[in-house]
Amino acid sequence: MPRKGEPVDLLPGADKIGPELLLGLDRSSSRPLHEQLETALRDYVRSGRLAPHAKVPSSRALATSLGVSRGVVLEAYSQLIAEGYLVSRQGAPTRVGSTPSIERPPVPAGTLEPEYSHGFDPGVPDLAAFPREQWARSLRAALRGAPFAALGHGDPRGTPELRNELMSYLGRVRGAAPEPEHTLVSAGAMQGFAALCRVLRQRGIERIGVEQPGWNRHRVIAEGAGLEPVGIPVDEHGLAVDRLANSGCEVAVVTPAHQFPTGVVMSSERRSALLEWAEDEDALIVEDDYDSELRYDRMPVGALQGLAPERVLHVGSASKRLAPGIRIGWMLSPSWLSGALTYEQGLGESGPPALDQLALADFLARGELDRHLRRMRLRYRERRRVLVEEIARALPGSRVSGAAAGLFALVLLAPGDDEHAVLRAAAARGVGLEGLSAHGGGGELPSNRAGGNDGTAGLVLGYGNVSEAEIERGARVLGRVYPLTSI
């Protein structure tokens, strides 16, 4: 009889076939003995130490060798037979199944996220500043107060509690005109936008106007839904509405409060012209309101949706306001679209978990988002100031474009600078950057004429998730590789 914890020969006596296999069961472990035995035998089959069709010991013989009851071995064998690792026939010995062994050493899960010493991601807020304690309090409140019905499939538009709180918050902070019955909660803004694009395509829409330059995911998602994205130029006043009117598009996606990636704010004249276009053409405006509360020099302009709720579909999320990992977005839909969007959302059950929605509802109701954004505006304003100063020193001849807002700044490079060469050289030194060309840049930007820059090269630098010290170090590294030209 083996002593406690001592490995024993797995295939004893006459039943031994192939290499010697040893097994030790830990009787002090919280794991049941039959689970330990299952795991060991399963690993032997997968690794090839027990070959296909090899005979394994009888349950009685193995139980005797291991010093356990026969029931432990029978339970382990029964589970492995059900999984196909072992085969048992009446009057025949138990053998390994015919499935070939899988020789694969365990490899820990990795990540697709690139790792840089200095990462200037323009779409990430300060993750270290996420209000964990306040969010945990809201999660606990959601768990305590959630009715059992909230744990079911629920309303495909989202929980009523969150839709009501969004109505109050967006009306107060963004000047929007939401109605809970036409408010839809999604698993992030882009999940909602993807559902919208599918609905538009089903309704016969073929082309959709997108800002040029503009966020590349708008283009990619629209194409994935079968729509043709048509680039509409952006200048210092925002989207060129006259070009939109001549494009033949019935839908246009805009970021009027803080255009990405130029950082310009759509002028009042352009806003009026855009709304007139939508009314005259019976068209739809999709307003991506991704970071409007993060304005540092003045109050942000109000949402377009508040001026024309039946012509504007407003999209927002917690991504820039709190953290992308929250994965909660929302859409304020025109009444004539909300039914189709609700059906599309319901088909895939693609909304965020109900408990997370209830937590955000509590978070909003207690004013925690307002307090968090007040703190973050001060922090981001200082980081932007540091970034502008450091870039001026590190990249002479370049200049920063756009309003003092958001989590990024567009740095327009000097004439002749090779954007791609700068990106490659920076990446080789551990500095992660995005280029203007990745978002449809490359043509002349009228806002740059006064600065003497042709607008063909630029860097979109995020400062939200980078400390002031990291900004300074990253800028110094960038300065050592700059300038790089294509000449």
Question: Model confidence over 160-170: pLDDT tens digits?
Answer: 999 999 999 99
Mean pLDDT of 117-121: 90
Indicate where the chain has its CATH 3.90.1150.10 domain(s).
Answer: 372-481
Per CATH, domain 8-96 is 1.10.150.570: no
The torsion defined by the Cα of 122, 127, 129 and 131, in degrees rounded to 10, comes to: 120
Q: Which residues pair with 95 in a beta bridge?
A: 55, 87
Mean pLDDT of 9-31: 61
Top-tier CATH class for 372-481? alpha beta
Tokens of 358: 């209830």
pLDDT at 325 over 50: yes
Distance CA 324, CA 190 (A): 11
Question: Model confidence over 216-255: pLDDT tens digits?
Answer: 999 999 999 999 999 999 999 999 999 999 999 999 999 9
Question: Model confidence over 327-338: pLDDT tens digits?
Answer: 999 999 999 999
Distance CA 427, CA 358 (A): 41
pLDDT of residue 105: 62
pLDDT at 311 over 50: yes
Mean pLDDT of 410-416: 91
At 393, which amino acid appears?
A: R
pLDDT at 442 over 70: no
Q: How confident is the model at residue 451 (pLDDT cuts 50, 70, 90)?
A: very low
Answer whether 284's CB lies under 8 Å from 313's CB.
yes
Indicate where the chain has its CATH 1.10.10.10 domain(s).
Answer: 8-96
Q: Which residues pair with 287 in a beta bridge?
A: 254, 314
Q: How confident is the model at residue 104 (pLDDT cuts 50, 70, 90)?
A: low
CB count within 10 Å of CB 319 equals 21
Half-sphere exposure of 81 (CA within 13 A, CB side): 13
- Quick one: angle between helices 468-481 and 368-394, nearest 10? 30
Distance CA 231, CA 222 (A): 12
pLDDT of residue 100: 62
Q: Which residues pair with 405 in a beta bridge?
A: 295
Better pLDDT: 92 or 350: 92
Q: How far from each other are the two terminal CA atoms of the chain, in whole angstroms?
A: 81
Indicate where the chain has its CATH 3.40.640.10 domain(s).
Answer: 131-366
The torsion defined by the Cα of 414, 415, 420 and 424, in degrees rounded to 10, comes to: -40
pLDDT of residue 448: 42
By percentage, how much of the chain surpasses pLDDT 90?
69
Q: What is the average pLDDT score of the chain? A: 89
Instruction: Give the predicted TM-score (pTM) of the model.
Output: 0.82
Per CATH, domain 131-366 is 3.40.640.10: yes
Q: Residue 58: helix, strand or coil by DSSP? A: coil
Q: Which residue do the tokens 């089903």 mark? A: 202
Distance CA 154, CA 145 (A): 16
Tokens of 147: 């009715």
Mean pLDDT of 434-449: 68
Q: How confident is the model at residue 12 (pLDDT cuts 50, 70, 90)?
A: very low
By percentage, how much of the chain surpasses pLDDT 70?
90
pLDDT of residue 184: 97
Question: Model confidence over 248-278: pLDDT tens digits?
Answer: 999 999 999 999 999 999 999 999 999 999 9
Report the b/e string of 282-305 with b at 16+ CB within 10 A. ebbbbbbbbbbbbbbeeebbbbbb
pLDDT of residue 18: 37
Distance CA 421, CA 407 (A): 24
